Amino acid sequence: MQWVVDASVALAWVFETEGQSQRFAAEIYHAQQAGVLKLHTPAVFHAEIAYRLAKTGRAKKLKSVTILEQAEVIAMAIDFTEHLGNSDCVTLTRFALEHNIQGYDAIYLALALEKRIGVATLDKGLASACRRAGVALYTP
């Protein structure tokens, strides 16, 4: 099965999270590793991941090699897909307004709609927008 995965899930693969969120993210990661799931992301995913890894790594005083290892864990599980996220700001803003969603989240939703696949997310705003748009949400 194919799913769009957002940064909230991928970051849970390398950051300590609590309870249900950790189990949800781990299940997605293991299903991908077993070849059961194919995960897609838009280009903005990479910027979100780099930002959060670098920021958290500096705050926790992690070595660069550790931060890069975390990035590699995430990168190996993802299939990058080009789509609406590469559009101009007017098109993306229009889409975000139509779906009452933030810009970054709009890119994930647009990819799911374009590919006609569901979304795996821990982000409540993105999950709500998916429900309104009729996009399936990954459930364990």
Give the tens place of pLDDT for each residue, 72-100: 989 888 877 665 555 788 988 999 999 99
Q: What is the pLDDT of residues 37-55, one digit of tens each?
A: 999 998 889 899 999 999 9
pLDDT at res. 89 = 86
pLDDT at res. 100 = 95
Mean pLDDT of 97-121: 94
Cα separation values, 37 from 6, 30, 95, 118, 120, Å: 14, 9, 27, 11, 11
